[in-house]
Structure 1
Amino acid sequence: MVHTTTENKARTLPQYVAALAAAGGAFAAGTLLGWTSPAQTEIQKGTAYDFDVSEDQYSWVSSAMTLGAACVCIPIGFLINFIGRKWTMLLLVLPFTIGWAMLIWASNLGMMYASRFLLGIAGGAFCVTAPMYTGEIAQKNIRGTLGSFFQLMITIGILFVYAIGAGLNVFWMSVVCGILPLIFGVIFFFMPESPTYLVSKNRTEGAIKSIQWLRGTEYNYDAELEELNQTDREIKENKVNVFSALSRPVTLKALGISLGLMFFQQLCGINAVIFYSNQIFEDAQTGIEPTLSAILVGVMQVVATFVSTLVVDKLGRRILLLASGVVMALSTTAIGVYFYLQDQDASSVSDLGWLPVASLCIFIIMFSIGYGPVPWLMMGELFATDIKGFAGSIAGTSNWVLAFLVTKTFTNLNAWLGNGGTFWLFAAITVIGVVFVFFAVPETKGKSLNEIQAELAGNRHTAIVASAPLAEK
């Protein structure tokens, strides 16, 4: 977390290294998210395990992960503040490894459910801890870029498992995925703890060492350390229990923004678009195999998310969210038109195969630039230090609960509204999301976390006044 405008001889490379190391957990979580797609055919054919798995049972195998993630988000918020960001992430290597081992050698359906639930606990905990860690170690001028590494590595993880799934059977694909958390643990062991956490535990020497590791030994850490101490003193002098802190107007406002972003991220239609991607490519008669179409979607996600990391600190969070939302709404509307016409008369869309393919590609790209990475990035920016763990956990929980509900009710929505109507519903929700972002979401680009708190508490003028004393240090 950068709380100071002092940029004297600060190195950025170590901050990139630490952020990428933390994002290694996101890479492992991405393989967990993507595993169900390449594994589905072999498992349902009965060749992957010694027991049968029906289509409905496999949907529970897929969604058990989201339930595990939803259950862990709030407890992990307390653990983060108790043992620290670094050791929390290292501890998560254990459930990750056990979960993959259970999935690799599952002897019955219950063991598969349990393994996916346990893996969801590990993945969901990373989704809370890694953005917080990155937000606290990064200087404000690169915090957006480093924060976007989280979503970037998730998409790379998904693409990775799609790619190895095209050449490996389920057993060996799972073995490779199970090794990744161990590699993460070895690398991340050598990274520093968050200076913010160390100051909160009165470990000043440790905080200085952490800042020097991240900024370089020539960096004058006095102003940054003083501001960290000042913030910590203010928190302790006004210390209240979690629920009192949660009821502060500034926290409620930050929580409302974060929950809103998570809501619109999940209900914009991303799961539906990916679910129908194979059918869209087939209808367009592209000649692309389903496996390759999944890999193509994964490549688009990775490239677009990478672009987002380059521009998020230049263009800002709001513009990425607004542009992303508008274009996604147009894309899902177009896909809805295609499926509606197809349901009315399949021959009427025989020459329109390009429409859903183009719309799908544009949707994936724009989601990966805006609504994919930015909500997770802002979750690490909006909350005060004393409530960040718990409030961030609530936001993370809501995201996974919504993911579960969308996944499990998607088939029912299609039956009720039709394919076209379902996509139009997602488009309408996305339009509401654009309005929400325009009126409710503040710009956090280039602002210290203290300045963000000041703006949430009052207005832009308040944030400017709050930052003035920092500039004088």
Structure 2
Amino acid sequence: MTTEFVWDADNNTAAMSTTDERTPLLSASGQIMSIEKIGISQQTLVSTDGLGQAKRLPQYLAGIAATLGALAAGMVLGWTSPAGENGVNLAKNYDIKISTIEFSWIGSLATLGAGAMCIPIGIIADLIGRKTAMLIMVVPFTIGWLLIIFSNSVLMFYFGRFITGLSGGAFCVAAPLYTAEIAESEIRGTLGSYFQLMLTVGILASYVFGAIIDNMRTLSIICAVMPLIFFGIFFFMPETPVYYLKKGNEEAARKSLIKFRGDEYNIEAELQAHREALEETSGGSFFDSIKSRAAKKGFIIAYGLMLFQQMSGVNSIIFYSSDIFSEAGDAISPNIATIIVGTVQVVSVFFGTLVVDKLGRRLLLLISITVMFLMTLLLGVYFYCLDHTTAFNNITWFALIPLCTFLIVFSVGFGPIPWMMMPEIFAPEVKGIAGSSACLFNWLMAFIVTKFYSDMKEAVQSYGTFWIFSLFSAVGTLFVYFLVPETKGKTLDQIQRELNG
């Protein structure tokens, strides 16, 4: 029998307990408590008994600052749409001849660059820190945009798009990792949603500036300014406490956590929870860790979510939204239609940030992919009717309804949640590499879909292409229902224990 102080991480309470070493403590409901033994002084215990509410404004501000890089990445993605069908506006503004195949490469090389950066940024973030890794990404961002701004050949566009894609892909890994490590478990979902929110704001900004300015070179200059704004704001944000703990710098971790939680909040219990989570997994090697049951399940969930996110066809819709509306008819100007689509995305993602920690990840994923299945099925029917019947001849604007509905549910569910869950489902010692590899897989799928979208249209027509996307969403619905767990409101340690069974 031993007497010890224990911390119940689920309820944020400390208690003195006399137990046998082999006997688990039970909560009032009879469930085994998630206990983390904490070697703290009696004085500290007294202070945690009156644990104050942590300040959340510093966490929100840091989350927004970090994801300004995602806004810059969104402008890279949205840049292709104002270029016009097959790059006609781009060719005119730069006085460069661009073929259909060359423009498909200009559109898709950004995704290939993003994929190429996913694994290196995970390693860099572990070596020099999440904050520093994101700040240095401004350099390739600037170089890439300068190549695009001063392009005098298709080859310069290729290099510029690939390099801006490198930085965009880096933020897809580093920004969600940063927000997950600074947030309390109660608001981790909200902060995780900021990445997708800022990404859609960036896409919308490209649509709006592209419609107003009608000059691709000027649009490129505006896009090049955004990474510099990110640098100026994010430079003043703290590094994550988890990174400092991984480096053995407990004093820096303590100071970081105080900045995120406020001076009146006793951070010792939370700091100890992070410390013990790292200690639990620091004994084995990386290769031992990825063989664990939790890691294997994490890989299946991560790769599955990324596959179905991209094979829903979302990036084809974003990259070629102007083309889609040109094909659908002239009832609405393609530029106006894309702005409507972009606005719908931003509003939807913002709504998602408000409900993701209330409704939960799994429910939103299920609703999202089920409706995406129905909307791509309907888009296929619409384009089939345009080609073979006269049913939609007087309502060619109808495509806007399923397209906007698709983007609404995508932006609430399958857009932000897969990125949000990456840092949640992997243990700290594999999080960087595992999350990066899932990101790489995501961007490779994005490259395949965007590069061969035009080829798919030629092979099976627009309706056949959307029906293929619909089929993938149908399979994705089953995947989410049977394999994806709920992580809402759970500590990272709890999630790992559940995945381990």
Select which of 71, 92, 95 maps to 2:137.
92
Residue in 2 that maps onto 1:63: 108
Residue in 2 that maps onto 1:190: 236
Q: Deviations over 1:340-363 (max 9, x none)?
A: 222223x23324546433211211
Residue in 1 that maps onto 2:367: 323
Select which of 411, 421, 427 maps to 1:368.
411
Q: Does 1:24 align with 2:60?
A: no
Structure 1 residue 231, shift from structure 2 partner: 1.9
The letter for the 2-side match of 1:28 is: A
The letter for the 1-side match of 2:180 is: G
Structure 1 residue 228, shift from structure 2 partner: 1.6
Work out whether residues 361 and 487 of structure 2, in 8 Å CA contact, stay in contact via their aligned partners in 1: yes
Rounded Cα–Cα distance in structure 2 between residues aligned with 1:189 and 1:160:
23
Task: Spell out the pairing of 1:41-440 with structure 2 (5 A cutoff).
Answer: 44=88, 46-168=91-213, 169-236=215-282, 238-240=283-285, 242-274=286-318, 277-278=321-322, 281=325, 287-345=331-389, 347-351=390-394, 353=396, 355-440=398-483
Structure 2 unaligned runs (5+)?
1-8, 13-50
The letter for the 2-side match of 1:64 is: L
Work out whether residues 126 and 432 of structure 2, in 8 Å CA contact, stay in contact via their aligned partners in 1: yes
Task: Give the direction of change, closer, same or farther, for the CA distance of 1:280–1:104 in structure 2 (3 Å limit).
Answer: closer
Work out whether residues 317 and 443 of structure 1, in 8 Å CA contact, stay in contact via their aligned partners in 2: yes
**Stretch of structure 1 that moved more, 89-98 or 285-294:** 285-294
Rounded Cα–Cα distance in structure 2 between residues aligned with 1:340 and 1:51:
35
Residue in 1 that maps onto 2:16: none
Rounded Cα–Cα distance in structure 1 between residues aligned with 2:206 and 2:323:
21
TM-score (norm 1): 0.92
Structure 1 residue 48, shift from structure 2 partner: 2.3
**Stretch of structure 1 that moved more, 354-363 or 55-64:** 354-363
Rounded Cα–Cα distance in structure 1 between residues aligned with 2:313 and 2:222:
30
Residue in 2 that maps onto 1:451: 494
Task: Give the direction of change, closer, same or farther, for the CA distance of 1:285–1:74 in structure 2 (3 Å limit).
Answer: closer
The letter for the 1-side match of 2:336 is: L
Select which of 39, 64, 82 maps to 1:38.
82
Work out whether residues 336 and 423 of structure 1, in 8 Å CA contact, stay in contact via their aligned partners in 2: yes
Structure 1 residue 275, shift from structure 2 partner: 5.9
Structure 1 residue 277, shift from structure 2 partner: 4.4
Rounded Cα–Cα distance in structure 1 between residues aligned with 2:474 and 2:395:
25
Work out whether residues 266 and 403 of structure 1, in 8 Å CA contact, stay in contact via their aligned partners in 2: yes
Rounded Cα–Cα distance in structure 1 between residues aligned with 2:468 and 2:155:
35
Structure 1 residue 239, shift from structure 2 partner: 2.8
Q: Equivalent residue of 2:478, what SS? A: helix
Residue in 2 that maps onto 1:465: none
Q: Equivalent residue of 1:348, what SS? A: coil
Rounded Cα–Cα distance in structure 1 between residues aligned with 2:11 and 2:142:
41
**Stretch of structure 1 that moved more, 373-382 or 40-49:** 40-49
Rounded Cα–Cα distance in structure 1 between residues aligned with 2:360 and 2:330:
37
Structure 1 residue 4, shift from structure 2 partner: 6.7
The letter for the 2-side match of 1:197 is: Y
Task: Give the direction of change, closer, same or farther, for the CA distance of 1:412–1:111 in structure 2 (3 Å limit).
Answer: closer
Rounded Cα–Cα distance in structure 2 between residues aligned with 1:248 and 1:27:
36
Work out whether residues 107 and 451 of structure 2, in 8 Å CA contact, stay in contact via their aligned partners in 1: no
Rounded Cα–Cα distance in structure 1 between residues aligned with 2:318 and 2:121:
29
Rounded Cα–Cα distance in structure 1 between residues aligned with 2:172 and 2:351:
21
Structure 1 residue 244, shift from structure 2 partner: 3.0
| Higher relative helix content | 1
Work out whether residues 4 and 224 of structure 1, in 8 Å CA contact, stay in contact via their aligned partners in 2: no
Rounded Cα–Cα distance in structure 2 between residues aligned with 1:70 and 1:282:
30
The letter for the 1-side match of 2:297 is: K
Work out whether residues 117 and 166 of structure 2, in 8 Å CA contact, stay in contact via their aligned partners in 1: yes
Aligned length: 453
Work out whether residues 317 and 324 of structure 2, in 8 Å CA contact, stay in contact via their aligned partners in 1: no
The letter for the 2-side match of 1:300 is: V
Task: Give the direction of change, closer, same or farther, for the CA distance of 1:107–1:415 in structure 2 (3 Å limit).
Answer: closer
Of the two, which has the highest radius of gyration? 2
Q: Equivalent residue of 1:380, what SS? A: helix
The letter for the 2-side match of 1:350 is: N
Identity over the aligned pairs, expressed in percent? Answer: 48
The letter for the 2-side match of 1:103 is: I
Q: Deviations over 1:419-472 (max 9, x none)?
A: 2222222112111111100110000000011111111111xxxxxxxxxxxxxx
Task: Give the direction of change, closer, same or farther, for the CA distance of 1:392–1:218 in structure 2 (3 Å limit).
Answer: same
Rounded Cα–Cα distance in structure 1 between residues aligned with 2:466 and 2:117:
31
Work out whether residues 44 and 54 of structure 1, in 8 Å CA contact, stay in contact via their aligned partners in 2: no
Residue in 2 that maps onto 1:471: none
Q: Deviations over 1:193-233 (max 9, x none)?
A: 11101011111111011101000011101101111221222
Q: Equivalent residue of 1:370, what SS? A: helix
**Stretch of structure 1 that moved more, 86-95 or 403-412:** 403-412
Structure 1 residue 173, shift from structure 2 partner: 1.3
The letter for the 2-side match of 1:187 is: I
Q: Deviations over 1:53-101 (max 9, x none)?
A: 2221111111111111111111111111100101000111111111111
Work out whether residues 377 and 467 of structure 2, in 8 Å CA contact, stay in contact via their aligned partners in 1: yes
Q: Equivalent residue of 1:17, what SS? A: helix
Q: Deviations over 1:89-134 (max 9, x none)?
A: 0111111111111111123222211111111111001100000110
Residue in 1 that maps onto 2:20: none
TM-score (norm 2): 0.87
